[in-house]
Amino acid sequence: MAFGKLKSKYFPKDFTWGVATSAYQTEGAWKADGKGLSIWDEFTNDRKFKNGNGNIATDFYAQYKEDIQLIKTLNLKAFRFSISWTRIFPEGVGQPNQAGVDFYHKVIDYCHKKDIEPWITLYHWDLPMALEEKGGWTNREILDWFSYYVDFCTKEYGSKVKNWIVLNEPMSFVGLGYFMGYHAPGRKGLKDFLSAAHHTTLCQAHGGRIVRRNIPEAYIGTTFSCSVVSPKNFWPRHIKAARRMDALLNRFFIEPALGLGYPTDVIPGLNRIEKYFQAGDEELLKFDFDFIGIQYYFRIIAQFSLLPPILFANEIPASKRNVKTSPLGMEIYPKGLMKMLKQFNKYKNVKDIYVTELGVCFDEKLIGGKLEDDNRVKYYKKTFKICRRAIIKGIRLRGVFLWTLVDNFEWADGIKPRFGIVYNNFRTQKRTIKKSGYWIQEFLKK
C-alpha cells in the first residue's frame, strides 16, 4: 500500500487514536492555587540547571479548553494526560488541595463534553519534593505514600474515567533520575538505583491493585520505554553486551509484573537488588495488567565495556555511526517499532498492547505562511504502516497515542526540542497547527 493511500479505515474500528501529554511538561502554574513543589520544580529552578524550567510550560492549566478543542479538531479520540501529584497533595500526603482536585475534574468534564476519552497517567515523573526529602523512591515508605495518592485519585475520578495508567516509563525516571543524575532528582549511583527500582516495581503492581479495588471495571495498564538494542558486531562479547542492555532497558520492569522476576539470568549482578526485598515481595511485584503501553523512540548500538560495572556494556552514540538522527542526537529508526511490538507480544501474560507514546523531534520551517514539517509526516506514515502490519501479523495492538499535541518542555532538554503536531510560541503561548497535524486530521477523517 502506498503511503499516500494509508487511512485509518484500514485499522480495526475500535482502534484507539489519541495524543499523550504530561503534567509537568504542559501545565505550568507551578505555584498556583495551592500546588506544592515537585522534584522537577526544584531541579529546573536550580541556578545550575541551564535549560529553563516548566514554570509556565505550555500554560495548559489556563488553556486546557483550547488544547482539548485542538484534539477534537484533529479528529483524535483519546487524550492521555497525567495528574500532578503535588497539585492534589502539595506535601505528597495529608489534606487534598481542593483547587487542584477541581482542575482535573474540569479537564475530564471538558473531554467528555468534546467526546474525547480521558486516559489518566497517575505518575509521570513529578514526585512531591516533600517526599524526595524523605528519600523519595529509595524509601520503602513510598509504597504507603503512593497508595494514599492512588487511592484518592481513583475514588475521586473513577466514576468518570475508565482508562488508567499507573506509571510512565519507570526505567527512564529511575535510571536517569537515581543512577545517572541527568533527570530530577539528580541522584547518582547503583545503591540509589537498585532501591528506587525495586520500590518502583512494587508500586507499579500495588497501584494496579488499588485501581482494580476502587474501580472494578477499570481498564488498567502501565507503560514502558523501550529501545531496539543491536550489537556493534557479531563478536560474542558485543552480542552478550547487547543482551544485557536489552535486559536492563526492555525487560527489567515488565518481567517482575508478569511473575518472571528481575532478569538476573542475563545480568547476574542485579541479584544485589535482593538486598531491598522483604518477605512476600516476589508476589507483591505481580499484577495482571489489562494492557501495557510501549514507548519507542530510537535504536541503541551496544558494545562490551568494563564500565559501568554489572552491565559491562555501553552505547555507541548515534553521532559516531553515520545514521540519521533527530536534533536530540537520537537515531531515527522507525522500523524498530515492529521489533519491539513483536518482543513484548511474545509474553504470554500480556493482553492488549498500546503504543502509548509515538513521536519524533524535528525542526519545522515556515513556508508560505504554513508550518511545514515533512519529516514528521514521513515518520508517522512509516510507523502507522508498521502498526497496520503488526495487527495483520496477529500482534495485539489496540491503539496509538502520539507524542505530543503541542510542543512542550522536554525535561532536561528544555523547550528547544519540538515533538508536537501543533507549534507553540513559548513567548505568546499561541498554538499553530503544523503540516503533520493537518495530515493527522486528514488521516483520521471518516
Quick check: 401 pLDDT over 60?
Answer: yes
Check if the beta carbon of residue 288 is closer than 8 Å to that of residue 318: no
Backbone angles phi and psi of 103, in degrees to 5: -60, -45
Confidence of residue 446 (pLDDT cuts 50, 70, 90): confident
The CA–CA distances, whole Å, from 346 to 296, 343, 394, 395, 399 equal 17, 6, 11, 9, 18
For residue 61, which of 101, 21, 32, 92 has the smallest C-alpha distance? 32
Residues linked to residue 11 through DSSP beta bridges, in sequence order: none
Here the cell at position 348 is: 504470554
Quick check: 382 pLDDT over 90?
Answer: yes
Percent of the chain surpassing pLDDT 70: 99
- pLDDT, one tens digit per residue, over 90-116 is 999 999 999 999 999 999 999 999 999
- Residue 395: the pLDDT is 98
- Average pLDDT over the chain reads 97
Quick check: 2 pLDDT over 50?
Answer: no
- pLDDT, one tens digit per residue, over 219-251 is 999 999 999 999 999 999 999 999 999 999 999
- Residue 23: the pLDDT is 99
Q: 247 or 446, which is more confident? A: 247
- Residue 7: the pLDDT is 86
- Sorted by where each begins, the domain ranges of the chain are 3-443
- Residue 4: the pLDDT is 53
Catalytic residue numbers, as ranges: 169, 357
**336-345 and 374-392 helices cross at what angle (nearest 10)?**
30
Residues linked to residue 80 through DSSP beta bridges, in sequence order: 20, 119
Cα angle 40, 46, 47; round to 5: 150
| pLDDT mean over 282-300 | 98
Confidence of residue 3 (pLDDT cuts 50, 70, 90): very low
The CATH number for 3-443, chosen from 3.40.50.300, 3.40.50.740, 3.20.20.80, 3.30.390.30, is: 3.20.20.80
- pLDDT, one tens digit per residue, over 40-86 is 999 999 989 999 999 999 999 999 999 999 999 999 999 999 999 99
Percent of the chain surpassing pLDDT 90: 97
Its pTM surpasses 0.95: yes
